[in-house]
Structures are given as structure tokens and as C-alpha cells.
Structure 1
Amino acid sequence: MEHLEKAAIIIQKTYKAFCCRKSYQELVAEHRAREKQLQEEAERERNRQLKLESQAQRTVTSPVPVPRRKRPQPLPRCQAGADSLSQPPVPRPRSKLTESTPFDNFLRSRPCPVLGTERQAGEEEEMRQMKRGATLRWFRDTQAQKVMQDNGAFPGWLHGMISR
């Protein structure tokens, strides 16, 4: 009888181990399924965020200068009231395409009253303009690419054509 009792105990332990192993495998399978579901939800959320960002980038347009408002035609004095005062025009934002460079004012000349005759002043001014033009061409052809920043603008310390 003692032998059968030991065998029964061994059978019971084996059965318990089998049941525990089976429940453990079910728990592991549930855990893996939950992990997979969470990963899929996270991937869907990531894709939704990317889609929203791409739509936002498509809808954002580059800044366009606001057109100036036309001034209203002045009314005859008999019809003009105190409330019909015209407002100043809306200033346009500066565009990068029309941004001036430090060298845009080199052609603006000032008359030189110190020189004696107008002919001398004209020749002197013409010669100065030729020199400035040649200097500007030299700078644009050889030096501008070395000084220009990545965005195509000149640095703040460069003031263009200045006198000594």
C-alpha cells in the first residue's frame, strides 16, 4: 500500500505541474497578444500623426505679401462725413526675393559741389561710378560666394560699398 501512496503523490504532482504549465502558457499567449495589440495601436497612432503633419504642411503656404488696400475715391465734400477718413495703406512685408543687398545703392550718385566746373564734376562722377561698377563686378564674380551665408544673404557686418 505504501507503494501505491507514493505513486499517487507522484501522479498528483505531475498533474499539478501539467495544469500549472498549461495555465502559464495561456497567460503568456494572452500577454503576447496584448503586447501585439498595443504595438498595432501605437503604429496606427504614429501613422495618424504623420498623416496630420503632412496635411498641415500641405495647407501651410509660403508667406505672400498682403496686397495694399486701394484708397477709396474721395467723396465730394458735401457727402464726406467724419467717419469716411481714409486709413493709411497696409505695409507690405518684405519678401526675400526683393530683399536688397549691400551693393544696391552703388549707382546712386550725389552731386559734388566742391569741384570747380560742372564738366569736371560730371567727368569725376562718371569715373567714380565706373570704378565702383568695376569693383562691384569684381566682388560679385570672385568674392560674393565666399562671404555669402547658406541662405543667400550677406552677413550683417558687410555694409557694401562704403568710403574710407
Structure 2
Amino acid sequence: MIYAFDTYYYEDYANTVCIAFEEWTSEKEVEIFTEQTAISSGYESGAFYKRELPCILSLLKKITVRKGDIIIVDGYVTLNNEGENGLGGYLYDALDQQYPVVGIAKNEFTAPDSQRRNVYRGESKTPLFLTAKGIEVDKIKPEIERMYGAFRIPALLKKLDQMSRM
């Protein structure tokens, strides 16, 4: 199973959504999980994970993740060549490095990262930015390219983003 997470922040709470799907090419989700939580910390530039990680970990308590499953976050797993963690890297460590974590970011992070890959989908000239831990990023790149949907953002990830904003 593949579990994709996204969180949207309102004034006094965060809405976290997870869409579970079976294959990279799946058109539809198998299950949707949602949770609203109080915001535990304010936005801190360069420390996005402090705000979002507790939301994802809380929602994960409602999900039975099994060996071989993959987790996707909206953001980065690694940030640079020095090995600094992004949200996904902190999640990978918080889960005792048991499950591969894939980061699919829409906005570019400027620091060089030899493990980051640009993924071009559809007719878009703007890439998605792919990072991962627990699985080789070059193994995942063709899977992201094949995900269902004709546009830059795969259909299930677009749905995830929209649902987090509801």
C-alpha cells in the first residue's frame, strides 16, 4: 500500500489527510483517513517539520502500515548534500526507519542535493522535486512519472491537496 499525506493549516487547527492507494498507477484510492488537530507550534522558517510531523504521526496511529508499504509526504525528505532532513527525513527517523518515505515537493529548495531528482509529468515544463529515504530515489522516479493523471501533479496527489483544504 502507498500512503500519501498532506496537511493544511487553518487559524487554530491543522487538517491532515492521508490517501491510501494500491499501486503507483492507481486511479482511485482504497481508503481516506482524516484528522483535525490543534496546531502545536507556529510556523518557523527552516523548521517546517516541527509543525507538520506531529500531525502526520497522530494520523498514522489510525493506520496499520505494514512492511513493504511506502509513505509519501508533500515536501522534502532530504534538503542538501550534507544530509540535512526535511519533513520526510524526520518522519523516516520517527518511524524507526522501518518504512520508505518519499517526498514530492512542488517548490524548489535551493541547496544542492545529489539525491534530489526533477520529475517532469505531462506537458509541464516545471518539475516536481523528488527525494526519498529507505528506497532509492532513482527507483521511485519512473513510478512518479507513471502515476495516474495527465498533468504535473498526479491525480491522487491533487485530490489529497484539495481534501486537506476542506
Q: Which of these two proteins has the greater Rg computed from alpha carbons?
A: 1
Fold match, TM over 0.5? no
Higher RCO (C-alpha 8 Å, min separation 6)? 2
Q: TM-score, normalization: structure 2? A: 0.17
- Write 1 or 2 for the structure with the bigger share of helix: 1
Q: Normalized against structure 1, the TM-score is what?
A: 0.18
